Amino acid sequence: MGVFNYLKHVDLVLENDDEDSNYFDILYSLTEMDFINHKDIHVRLWVGFCFQKLLAKLSSKTDHCDKEKLQLILEFLIDNMKGVKSSNESVYKYSVLFLERLSSAETLCACSSLPDEAVTNISCTLFYTAFQLIKVDRSLYRPAVSFPRARSAAVTSARDLYLTNAGLLQFSTYTWSCGVKLVIENNGISIFSSLLNILVRFVHQVLSLHDVTPVLDIIYVNIIKPSRKEKPFVAKFTSNLILASADILELPTQEFLQSCLVGKILPKDSLVSEGKLDLIGQLHKICPWLVATVWGQLRHILKERNSPDRPQTMMLLAKMFCKSQSNYISQHYSTWRVFLDSLLIGSETDNTLVVQFAKEFLSVQQNKCEQKQFIELCLVPLVNRGDENLVLDLMSAIVDLLQINTQLFTENTDLLEILVTVAREGNEFEQREAAMSSLGQLFSHFYQNLDDNSAPDLNKKVILPGPRTLVPVYKTKTTVCLQPPWPPYTCSYLQNEDNCLLTEERMKRLLSIWLSLESCHYDIIRDMMVSSYCLRCHMRSLMKLVVSAPRDDPRIEVLQYEVLEVLDRSKSSPSKLMEEFVTILAKNQSIRTAMETVVQVESNTTKQLISVSANVICTLKIINRAVAQMVELILFKILLFGIDVGSFTVLVLQVMKDIKEGGKISNHNPGKKELRLLYELLSWQPYLAFDENVVKFFLELLTVGDTDQITQTLKIISLLSKPPGKPLGEVYPGLTQEHLVPLLQRLAIIGTPKQAKYSIRCLTSHVKDKREHIFHPVLKDMHKVLSCRDEQYETVITAVGHWAVHLPTDLRLQQSFYKVIDTFIHTNIVKELLYSKVVPSEEPLTCTWYKDYEIPAHTRCVMAGIKTLANWMRARKNPTNVKIILTLVWLIQDNKENWKDTNMGDADQARVRLSAGCALLKICEVPALWTFFSTALLTKLVCLITDKVKQVRLGFARRLTRGLCKEPGLPNDLLAFFPLSELSPDRQVCQQMREMLRKAIVAKRLRYRRLVLIEQVAVSTDHLINSHAHLLVEHSVGAAVFLLGFHPLFFAIDSWFDLYQVQCALKQLLEELITAAPLRMDDKFYKDLFTAIHSSRNTLVPDDELANKKMWAACELGLSLLPNLQKGSGKVKTPEKFLLPVYFEPSSQTAWTDYIPTSLAKKLKSGKGGQRSATSPLEEVQPPSDMRVNVEDEESENEESEDEEKGVLQDSRHMDTNHRKLREGLT
């Protein structure tokens, strides 16, 4: 009980923190009472807490205490450090806290005020104890155990002590909190670090004022004397101690270290197991001369090839040497030369060391002679060792080195010659391929950084190379003699006279390097052509090397020709290699430059044209208009090679031969790529086909070719009548009448829909005489098929539409053709196909969308009929037939009542809706028909932009974008369709709609400039806008407000969600109009527009108050958005005369009234909202989770748009606004 009473007294003293308390005597009494060795762990833990607090208070009062007692206390503390025997002992938890307290409170440093004898005794005891702890327990080298479990145990034990002795001991809250906090703070701290911290503080604060010789003796003894298994830990501890306090201890002296590190080492001893190598590496950071001190002993290890220390010793010395300063390297190069000699003894473990050492050495060594000597001594012999990994690592190091050190690249060709030697004579295939790839990377980097030291403005100066250049090839007995056949080179030099000579010499040197390596490349390429088994991998490396050279270097043509020649000689899918070649070119250069590179080296031979040009065209998928400029570039280059009628004839015969043999280029579809090449050539020069053999070849293909070949051949024949070509009926009348016409008549009836399309186009363009004897039989056969609905029904429907487009210009035939075609349209298509309730035989699928190849036959016929109807109306341009547009209205509506008797599934209905919507857009492109277009129909057509099927929305938007970007294209009012997509719940689709809207606005605004600069419709843009206000894309804002008022997804003006959707739609349109392209209007135009609409009514249903209020609310939202939009550049003058859109008529109401509730207006402005209105059937407009989207749908639409006829007459004069008021005739 006396123990607890005394500890209670200590705890109260510490809690009161009285200044008069003698903490020194309390601490001294604790040392005498032997509490630390108490058998109860709780007592020892509590004593530890008391010691921590007392030591902290004692640190500021040691100057006035009893020196003898202080010495006894410090010796007692050091003696208790020995209690740390193992982490398994229960006292270990206390010892951790005890040591950490000693380290942080700096208590031992209080002995600096004691006499020298006492300081020497304490310091010797302290250092000896520390070394003993390091030697006894290896776990001290690792972080101390624990401490979540230790912390929990300590806290639990203290709590038990408090509960069991509540009547005897009131454990103070302050002491408890201090103890727990200390345990937590010391979680994860190592004993190793704690001991090192204690000793370093002791050295800096105590030994700096006293004699350090006894401590040096202890260090020396503990380095030399410990047993073998203990030395690594002692060396690690000692090196850290010396590094931290070398300036105080005046360590290490040369004699001391030499005796410590290498003295008394027997040959059987290992420096690795004794930790001496680690100690040397650590001490080298503060002793640059250390290697020279211990070199005599370490050199024997390096010469012993079987020594276990040799790999570690070499790695250590390489690291030490590479991290030294360059001046030190120069001073001790003779010493390191011996080290390099030892490396070349040859060992597999030295490979990475050699590469690392070479990279480090050459990066810091600036002496050219020593660089060259090192390359010859260390790197060159490695090439002949034959070790694959070594050579590959070496080349990687050389590439990195040369990219970092440009001076080595420009002034020392030895490293480059190593790569060339490996590329030609490497023992393994991977070595040769890696060497070629490395050369490509180097030259790419070399030419990119060629003018690093040059000024931005460069002049050109011609440097003529010598007539002959002797190039020694390394590791070969011959000297390659290269006589360049190419023109002189152009080089840059600085305008500054001081730097001109340096730059010129540098350029000469660089060109000589390229010349010397180029001669080797020719031999490498020819060697690779012999080895066909590794052709593909070699070609990849060659391609990388080719694209790394500059574009204006004439010699690159020779390399490219070699690559293409190897590609042509390859029998294993050369198109794949060509695809890789073009891909590599495209990554390193622009696409246009890549095309120039490929076409530049094509030869005049027919075979080369087929194998290269066809592959290039088809590999890059040059089939649509998006890359038409690249197609023109290729064809222009080909025509420059001298393709005339005779050469083209030979080309056609070769194509025919390849098709009959199964196609060497396109194995899966023989002849497809070759026919595509012919099509592109003839699109430029149609007269190339005016050879009887060529025409017979096309006729033969129409007879024996497959479906794709016949279609492609018909497209080619249709090109021949375009200027400067002529109709075949004039050039070859016999072949045309006897062979071509019967084939075309037959294909127009029994072919595929595409074949019928091009057959009719060929008939109308190539036949000029006796046309009535040709056309009428075809029409009769069509009538038979339409009446009985046989398997060719879809083909004939398609043919009728294209007959309507290509009506004969002969006045004698027009009236009869009009009558027949009109009968087909009204009877067979409108009444029997579109309005009849035909039930298909097959059961519809349950999906919501069909891919192109999944569409049922009946649905395909309906889609073909819709396209035929649109083509007929576009061709006739007769306003009396506009009422037939109403035929398409019910087809675009998603109304189950319209489809209940047709047994058509959801996917069929979606396909028909999309076709009908695209057909209506095609009709709107004709100004004469758009004038009579009903506003009611416009409100129904806009619903396709928010259709429940995602594919319908996107397909309709793509067709809308394509029509708006045409000339003159769709009216500007249809731009209002895109922002209404914000009413749809699909955010991804909305983002795509924004991109399409931006593209359409840019195309429309570019038309302003074309009308002013090219067609000279007006003097300036401002004059154009004032005189032709209907051309403004800004009027689409009024159309958007009108369509929002009648859109079925805008339910109520008292719903925050509905108003928010409308706000997003207007914001999307206004942002693109105001912030994006030039030629924009200022805010005044939009304010006047919204204000005018706010005081007007709609012209469709003027008395519909709900629709009017929706439009007025939309105007209020638009006015609130204007101040927050970022303004773009290029503002134009606002029109002098404001024009109210035709969708509105002025109202008698003039006073301004806010139709959006004030509370909702504030929420919309702040971005806070509520729920959608209760009347909103949002579930019905959610798009189905249909994952059947396929790029084939888009490709088919692009192909259809590509084949549309360009010659449709469109009169923009009918776009005048006054005429557009007549559109309400079909409401």
Model confidence at 364, in pLDDT bands (50, 70, 90)?
low
Per-residue model confidence (pLDDT) at position 604: 38
The DSSP bridge pattern shows strands 1096-1098 and 479-482 to be: unpaired
Across the chain, mean pLDDT equals: 65
Residue type at position 542: L
| 712 domain residue, yes or no | no
What is the number of structural domains in the chain?
Answer: 2
Contact (Cβ atoms closer than 8 angstroms) between residue 200 and residue 241: yes
Tokens of 936: 């009611």
Task: Residue 942: name the closest of 1072, 1098, 1046 by CA.
Answer: 1046
At 1056 the three-state DSSP class reads: helix
Return the structure tokens found at 1160: 């909702």
**What is the average pLDDT across 811-819?**
69
- Distance, in Å, from the CA atom of 999 to the CA atom of 1077, rounded to the nearest integer, reads 10
State the pLDDT at residue 1172: 40
| Range with top average pLDDT, 74-78, 520-524, 1116-1120, 1153-1157 | 1116-1120
Going by pLDDT thresholds of 50, 70 and 90, the confidence category of residue 164 is: very low
The tokens for 376 are 């010859």
Sequence-distant (≥ 6) Cβ neighbours of residue 635 within 8 angstroms = 680, 681, 683, 684
Across residues 825-838, what is the average pLDDT?
73
Question: What pLDDT was estimated at residue 281?
Answer: 63
CB proximity list for 32: less than 8 A, separation 6 or greater:
none
Residues in contact with 363: Cβ distance below 8 Å, sequence separation at least 6, in sequence order: 401, 404, 405
Give the per-residue pLDDT at 673: 67
DSSP states of 443-512 as a string? HHHHHHTTTTTS-SS-EEEEEPPPS-EEEEPTT-SSEEEE---SPPEEEEE-SSHHHHHHHHHHHHHHHH
State the Cα–Cα distance between residues 508 and 462, nearest whole angstrom. Answer: 11
Domain membership flag for residue 627: no
Average pLDDT over residues 69-93: 60
User: What pLDDT does 61 receive?
Assistant: 53
Secondary structure letter of residue 241 according to DSSP: H
Given this model, what pLDDT does residue 464 score? 24
Task: Specify the pLDDT at position 1187.
Answer: 31
Q: Is 1167 helix (H, G, I), strand (E, B) or coil?
A: coil
Please answer whether residues 1154 and 1161 qualify as being in contact, where contact means their C-beta atoms are separated by less than 8 angstroms: yes
Helix (H/G/I), strand (E/B), else coil: 23: helix
Of residues 489 and 959, more confidently modeled: 959
What pLDDT, in 10s, does the model give residues 1123-1133?
888 776 667 77
Half-sphere exposure of 455 (CA within 13 A, CB side): 13
CA distance 1053 to 1068: 20
pLDDT of residue 107: 62
pLDDT at 41: 60
The SS3 call for residue 371 is: helix
Among 92-96, 152-156, 618-622, the minimum mean pLDDT is found in 152-156
Torsion of CA 1101, 1102, 1107, 1109, to 10 degrees: 180
The one-character DSSP state at 719 is: H
Contact predicate 1227/934, CB 8 Å: yes
Write the DSSP string, 277-301: HHHHHHHTTT-TTHHHHHHHHHHHH
Find where tokens 């509590």 sit.
46
Stretch (H or E) spanning 1020: none
Task: Tell me the pLDDT band of 219, cut-offs 50, 70 and 90.
Answer: confident
List the single range of 17-26, 601-610, 831-840 with lowest mean pLDDT: 601-610
Q: Is the pLDDT of residue 330 over 80?
A: no
Has residue 397 got a pLDDT over 60?
yes
Residue 366 token pair = 């600036």
Which of 147, 177, 209 terminates a domain? The answer is 209
Segment 901-928 shows an average pLDDT of 85
Lowest-confidence pick of 245-254, 440-449, 1179-1188? 1179-1188
Work out the number of other CB atoms within 10 angstroms of the CB of residue 787.
11
Which of 170, 194, 209 is the last residue in one of the domains?
209
CA–CA distance, 530 with 738 (Å, rounded to integer): 53
CA atoms of 54 and 102, how far apart (whole Å):
11
What is the H or E stretch that residue 1096 is in?
Answer: strand 1096-1098
Q: Which domain holds residue 63?
A: 1-209
Q: Would you state the pLDDT for residue 168?
A: 31
Backbone angles phi, psi at 472, to 5 degrees: -75, 130
In DSSP terms, 1131 is beta-bridged to 1080
Q: How confident is the model at residue 1156 (pLDDT cuts 50, 70, 90)?
A: confident
Q: Is residue 747 part of a domain?
A: no
Task: Supply the pTM of this predicted model.
Answer: 0.52
d(CA 44, CA 48): 6
Question: Of the ranges 201-205, 676-680, 966-970, which is most confident?
Answer: 966-970
**Mean pLDDT confidence for 607-624:** 45
Q: What is the mean pLDDT of residues 895-915?
A: 80
| Higher-pLDDT residue of 1071, 282 | 1071
Token pair 């205490």: residue: 65
Q: What is the greatest pairwise CA distance in the chain?
A: 137
Residue 112: is it exposed, middle or buried by C-beta count within 10 angstroms (0-12/13-18/19+)?
middle
- Higher-confidence residue of 481 and 693: namely 693
Rounded CA separation 1036/964 (Å): 12
pLDDT at position 959: 92
DSSP 887-917: GGHHHHS--HHHHTTTT--HHHHHHHHHHHH
Higher pLDDT pick, 464 / 760: 760
User: So what's the pLDDT on residue 1105?
Assistant: 87
Classify residue 267: in a domain, yes or no.
no
Instruction: Determine what percent of the chain is predicted with pLDDT higher than 70.
Output: 42
| Residue 1034 domain flag | yes
pLDDT exceeds cutoff 70 at 834: yes
The lowest-confidence range among 448-457, 507-516, 781-790 is 448-457
Q: Is the pLDDT assigned to residue 376 strictly greater than 80?
A: no
Contact 517, 439 (CB under 8 A): yes
Q: What is the DSSP string of 950-962?
A: HHHHHHHHHHHHH
Q: Is residue 1201 included in any domain, yes or no? A: no
Rg (CA), the chain: 46
The answer to whether residue 497 is domain-embedded is no
960-1010 pLDDT tens trace = 999 988 877 888 889 889 888 888 767 778 888 888 888 888 888 888 777
Of 13, 99, 91, 1, which is closest to residue 50 (Cα–Cα)?
13
Give me the pLDDT at residue 714, please.
92
Assess whether pLDDT exceeds 50 at residue 501: no
H helical segments located in 112-206? 116-136, 147-164, 173-185, 191-205
For residue 199, tell me if it sits in a domain: yes
More confident residue, 999 or 458: 999
Q: How far apart are the C-alpha atoms of 455 and 460, rounded to whole Å?
A: 13
* pLDDT > 70? residue 21: no
pLDDT above 60 for 553? no
Of residues 637 and 1111, more confidently modeled: 1111
Q: 1167-1180: per-residue pLDDT in tens? A: 555 444 433 333 33
- Give me the pLDDT at residue 709, please: 86
Among 73-82, 659-668, 712-721, which stretch is predicted with the lowest mean pLDDT?
659-668
Residue given tokens 């959610």 in the structure block: 1182
End-to-end CA distance of the chain: 109
Instruction: Mention every residue, 6+ apart, whose C-beta is less than 8 A from residue 878.
Output: none
Query: Token pair of 896, please?
Result: 């189950």
976, 1004, 1090 from 1039: Cα distances, Å: 6, 16, 11
pLDDT of residue 828: 78
Whether pLDDT at 1104 is above 80: yes
Q: Mind giving me the DSSP string for 395-430?
A: HHHHHHHHHH-HHHHHH--HHHHHHHHHHHH-SSHH
User: Both tokens of residue 590?
Assistant: 């622009």
For residue 960, what pLDDT is reported? 92
Q: Which amino acid is at 467?
A: P
Q: What is the pLDDT of residue 233?
A: 58
Model confidence band, residue 956 (pLDDT cutoffs 50, 70, 90): very high
Q: Quick one: what percent of the chain has pLDDT higher than 90?
A: 2
Domain termination site, one of 191, 209, 227: 209
